[in-house]
Structure 1
Amino acid sequence: MTVLTSLRCRPILCIALALALVMVGACTSSPTANPGADVSTDPPAPASLEGAVPEGEPTSVPPTATPQPTAAPTNTPPPTATPEPLAVYCAPDIASDVSESLRQALEDWAADPSRGTAMALQWSERPDEAHIALQIAPLATADPAATIAEHYYAVVVPFDTLTDGIMLDDISQRWLGLSSASILYVTPESEGAMRALMGGDTHAAEVVPADEMLAHLLERRDAVGLLPFERLDPRFKVLTANDANVLSNTFEPTSYPLAVALTASGSHAPDALESLRAAVAPTNRDAARLTTLIMTGVTAMSRLTAARMEAKGYTYPAEIIGETLRAADITHVSNEVPFINGCPVNTTENNLVLCSDYPYWAALEAIGTDIVGLSGNHVNDFGRDGARESIQFYRDREIPIYGNGLNVGEACAPLMWEHNGNTFAFLAVLAFEPSYAWATDTEPGACYYYDHKDTILKSVADLSREVDVVSVELQYLETYQPYPTAQQVVEFRELREAGADIVTGVQSHVPQAMEPYGHGDAGGPGIIVYGLGNLFFDQMWSWETRTELYARHTIYDGRLLSTEILTGVLEDYAQPRWATDEERLEILERIFDAAPPRPQPTGDATGEGASAAVIAWKEHEEADLRVRLSFPASWQPVEGYQRRYGGEDGWVALSALYGEGWSIGEACANEAQHKLQPYGTAPTIEMLEVAGQPACRIRPSDDQPAAMEDQAALIVAYPEPVELDGYTYHYLLVWADLDYIARIAESVTITP
């Protein structure tokens, strides 16, 4: 205890001081040594304490520092477990473009942070091992709660086929190769649906592109084809399947045997269903976009027809066929004679001064008449005053009329119509005598075609840019033959070339030929009906005048999809009935045999039986722009231009639009209102949907510079931006000749 013995102090004080020094030494931290310093192990000599503590004063011991509490050990959380991948099965029969859209939707859904933990997807080969299984099933047995989308298919043959229907068993036999009734053609899109409907991995059907379907059917007239509903056009006849008509506006989906559902099943399917449904179109046959239009022939409720109505009731003519005619969304009547109050019933043979009494409207009401064309050459049989009375009759009852008016301006004006989003313009003209039936600037009557032909043709062209369907009917030279006259063919086709989708002869008292057009024909889908025969008129004097046609047109999503021919036979001078099977065959054979030679399409493809839809147009793909479309086969690359193709009759050029952050409306407005005015001072922008994407069509105004070569435009939003030459583009831009832009638009497909 060297330290203590060196202190000179009282014993007690020394002990206390010694204890204090020991305690201070114990609670004072030793100085930290510099690394590498020479640290002595001997304790340093204490500083002298002499005089530090006053003599006689007690010495206090410094308090011991309170030690810091020892921190409780922290538990390290275990690592978060990685969720197991979500197994997804996608049936190979699902079309590749649909499959890709569904895959992308699932990937986005699985990675969505709002759902919580993101999940990886693992594609499975077996549906029973998948958390989500995407499959195709017959619509009739599919669970609506698990259905993503519905698809409908139609059995087709060439338009001039006599057969009207087919049974599912026959289709099945053809599919399996067990039928002696020849073969079944299917498109790549419909092959997967047929596997789901018919079963089995192997089949005997021949798979052909949709654009080649008609050519194959024309070559093998005993074959039938299967097309997706949206790929129909008027050059095909659609057969009923198990007596169900996919064209009908009273169609019952679950009873149709050729409909399938795209479904999602499995433990996680309900959670993903909303995202999957948003990724694809819900159906290829939306009843809310379908319109049926029935056009009928000559109505003249006079003479013996009037006598029967007076004796048997005013609705007597409609009692048999009325239910079918009024079921159409738009039912048309061509009434040749005026409504005159108290019109006398004159049954004198060859009486040609004709009228109908007011109560006779009941017959037209009973067939559901919606619109009335008044281009007949008997409209002024009771003079101009009688014509005014008849016009007032319709107006008092708010019955839409066209082709007639209080002056020529009213008579030649179109009737505009809309149903289920499909827009129409109806025009009716009189191309026949007598002159007193013609309207003038101040007098009522029908619109005389030849005095106003240029105006009518221009009106048709203008209307074709404004509405979906332009329908023109003509009261033409009356003949009693099924074949049209040579001049009739020329003039009816002239109206089609001007832009009419439906051209109908309402003059003929006998059924005449029909001439359908398809996607590949100039002007696109449409039909010429040269003559329908009578509806309500007393011509019982020959079998031909007793037979009748009613054209039932199906319009879907703004275009003519198909035309059905309904056939009737007049009885008792007033009442049509439905033709028997044998009578129908005779009527159809008669009008099909009377069809004039088809106009020769342009193009370099040849082959007997080849259709204009096949030989006139070709499919073209521009891979860097991710687009596939069709244009006339004769068009070739234009030297000096990139992605421009053309010929003597027109042209098309392909490009892309930057458009980042623009809506489709803004993209279209920027193109249409370019400062150089390439579309004239007042172009028209029509919003539409192309290939399932927002789109628009730009039509030029009349003052477009001639140097622009009738340029119109189509703009389509890309599902995903396109990289091209180091730049990013958000819109496909197609320029084309105005006469072709609509048809080209219908053929556009955005490729993956």
Structure 2
Amino acid sequence: MRRSRAFALVALAVAVSACSTATAKPETTTGSKSTIGPIEQQREPEREPYTIAFGGDVHFEGALRARLDSPKTALGPIARVLGRADLAVINLETAITTGGAPVNKQFTFRAPASAFTALKAGGVDVVSMANNHGMDYGSTGLEDSLAAIKKSRFPVIGIGEDDAEAYKPFRTTLNGNKVSIIGATQVLDAEFIQSWSATPGQGGLASAKNEPRLIQAVRQARKNSDTVIVFLHWGTELQPCPNEAQRSLTPKLIKAGADVIVGGHAHQLLGSGYLGNAYVNYGLGNFIFYNWGPVTGKTGVLTLTINGRKVLKDRWTPATIQSPGLPVPLTGPAATQAVASWKQLRSCAGLSAKPG
């Protein structure tokens, strides 16, 4: 009797175990090709290449303000280029506010919160507000901007209620790659450096002039990221080659762990290519912006194909800024010539066409 009962209990246990195994759902991992089984669940998902697109300076002043009346189509035809990438990043060179008073400077930019709606509809996933117009409407504009960011839940880097928030990277996972993007500005008017820079007790922008703080943020991101990207506002207006401040900062960021360093400010395109194994772009130019002439009207989208720390490919989609300030992609021979001209810009930037 006891033996029979024991056999019966063992048989029941085996049956329950078999049933549980048959009905259990294996875990899945975003970005992996297929479902992984129980034995493989603790393994890291296999990384595959992803694409990230970068555009230059954006504001919605002047004639561009009317584009926000129809935010879903505000960015025009360039939205198709941005939307093709797994992730798209631009520099939002404006305070997000409708109140307050402008600071004492020649040009001040602001836009309503519908700018975030327009950018999202246009294929933009992340913006940096770390630039020399991010606080054009002072402390009131900063408060309004931070409130608009919080309400919209749109990913914004380079600005915050203190330095921890301003230097905090945007983080995401793309095809198994853990990606971190940090925004900072190397360009600030001398009289605003102190009041606009985020500190432990002060809201503001992530300043690249505080190199130790920026390098600290890069090192921290390196610890738990496959790809570390620094999106900078830098350069000298209307100068086609990188300035000394750019050349000095770049190797420091690479040493700290940056894999990609991109940005703009100069109102024209600058060189793009490899410095060692890292990828550097010294100037994305204007993007959705005033067009003052043939040089400042040259723009485009830089799309990088990345796997982990390796930038496998760069692609430049050239465009020209046309009335009322929107980039329109070039086609045919004009596009071919524009790409060739863009590649020539790296000659004075000390960059290479290939890594190594």
For Structure 1 versus Structure 2, the TM-score category normalised by the shorter chain is 0.7 to 0.9
Deviation for aligned residue 1:408: 1.9
**TM-superposition CA deviations, 1:130-155 (whole Å, max 9, x none):** xxxxxxxxxxxxxxxxxxxxxxxxxx
Identity %: 21
Q: Which residue of 2 aligns with 1:410?
A: 165
- Pair 1:305 & 2:60 matched: no
In 2: Cα distance, 1:492 partner to 1:468 partner: 19
In 2: Cα distance, 1:515 partner to 1:379 partner: 28
Q: Which residue of 2 aligns with 1:144?
A: none
1:485 to 224, 243, 246: 243
Structure 1 contact 301–356 (Cα < 8 Å) conserved: yes
Q: Which residue of 1 aligns with 2:197?
A: 438
- Pair 1:428 & 2:183 matched: yes
**TM-superposition CA deviations, 1:118-173 (whole Å, max 9, x none):** xxxxxxxxxxxxxxxxxxxxxxxxxxxxxxxxxxxxxxxxxxxxxxxxxxxxxxxx
In 2: Cα distance, 1:480 partner to 1:502 partner: 23
Deviation for aligned residue 1:599: 6.3
**TM-superposition CA deviations, 1:513-537 (whole Å, max 9, x none):** 11225xxx4xx3x310001012211
Deviation for aligned residue 1:492: 2.0
Q: Which aligned pairs between 1:71-220 and structure 2 lie closer than 5 A?
A: none
Q: How many residues are aligned here?
A: 307
Structure 2 contact 94–133 (Cα < 8 Å) conserved: yes
* SS, match of residue 595 in structure 1: helix
Deviation for aligned residue 1:598: 7.6
* SS, match of residue 545 in structure 1: coil
Structure 2 contact 300–316 (Cα < 8 Å) conserved: yes
Q: Which residue of 1 aligns with 2:11?
A: none
Structure 1 contact 384–443 (Cα < 8 Å) conserved: no
2:216 to 458, 463, 471: 458
1:384 to 139, 143, 147: 139
Structure 2 contact 271–349 (Cα < 8 Å) conserved: no
**TM-superposition CA deviations, 1:462-481 (whole Å, max 9, x none):** 43242111101221243213
**TM-superposition CA deviations, 1:589-632 (whole Å, max 9, x none):** 433333246869xxxxxxxx99774xxxxxxxxxxxxxxxxxxx
Q: Which aligned pairs between 1:455-534 and structure 2 lie closer than 5 A?
A: 455-517=213-275, 521=276, 524=277, 526-534=278-286
* Structure index of larger Rg: 1
In 1: Cα distance, 2:82 partner to 2:264 partner: 17
Q: Which residue of 1 aligns with 2:129?
A: 374
* SS, match of residue 139 in structure 2: helix
Structure 1 contact 342–358 (Cα < 8 Å) conserved: no
Structure 2 contact 74–122 (Cα < 8 Å) conserved: no
Q: Which residue of 2 aligns with 1:364?
A: 119
2:326 to 572, 575, 580: 575
Residues 572 and 423 of structure 1: is their aligned pair in 2 closer, same or farther, counting only changes over 3 Å? same
- Pair 1:354 & 2:354 matched: no
Deviation for aligned residue 1:496: 2.0
Alignment RMSD (CA, Å): 3.0
Deviation for aligned residue 1:446: 0.7
Deviation for aligned residue 1:360: 3.0
In 2: Cα distance, 1:445 partner to 1:399 partner: 18
Q: Which residue of 2 aligns with 1:323?
A: 80
Q: Unpaired segments of 5 or more residues in structure 1? A: 1-248, 250-285, 601-608, 614-752
The TM-score with structure 1 as length reference comes to 0.38
Deviation for aligned residue 1:340: 1.4
Residues 455 and 381 of structure 1: is their aligned pair in 2 closer, same or farther, counting only changes over 3 Å? closer
- Pair 1:448 & 2:207 matched: yes
RCO higher in structure (CA 8 A, sep ≥6): 2
Residues 375 and 287 of structure 1: is their aligned pair in 2 closer, same or farther, counting only changes over 3 Å? same
Q: Which residue of 2 aligns with 1:548?
A: 299
Residues 610 and 574 of structure 1: is their aligned pair in 2 closer, same or farther, counting only changes over 3 Å? closer
